[in-house]
Amino acid sequence: MSDAGLPTPFAEQVLDVVAAIPRGRVLTYGDVARLLEQGGPRQVGTVMSRFGGGVPWWRVIRADGRPVASLEADALARLRRERVPLAGGGSRVDLSRARWQPSPADLSELLGGLRP
């Protein structure tokens, strides 16, 4: 069993956002940070590394469209399964088409629940 310690409030918000990414869509680490308006891509990555196991972690990718290096094969398989638009011969996500752009309603529901 893995004990990643206790999730901080920031970690829980990150996980909440990731859990809200619709099937077939993705966000970059930077996107998540900017959505929450706190921390940065590296902080999001740290959270995912420690607590990402319970959320759709494969929907969080790098800004260049490549999934996490250490889990690349698994991530690409899952993304393909969800019909996420790929590019670069299927090794990268086509961010211009796959990036999730939350509607104002999505945002208020997300951030509203996290930051009343």
- Compute the distance between CA of residue 79 and CA of residue 116 in angstroms, rounded to an integer: 33
By CB under 7 A, name the one of 7, 24, 30, 85 that touches DNA. Answer: 30
By CB under 7 A, name the one of 4, 9, 22, 49 that touches DNA. Answer: 49
Residues 6+ apart with CB under 8 A from 43: 10, 33
Q: Considering only 50-58, 77-85, 99-107, 108-116, which stretch makes contact with DNA by CB under 7 A?
A: 50-58
The site for DNA (CB under 7 A) is made up of: 8, 28-30, 38-46, 48-49, 52-53, 57, 60, 62-64, 68-71, 88, 92
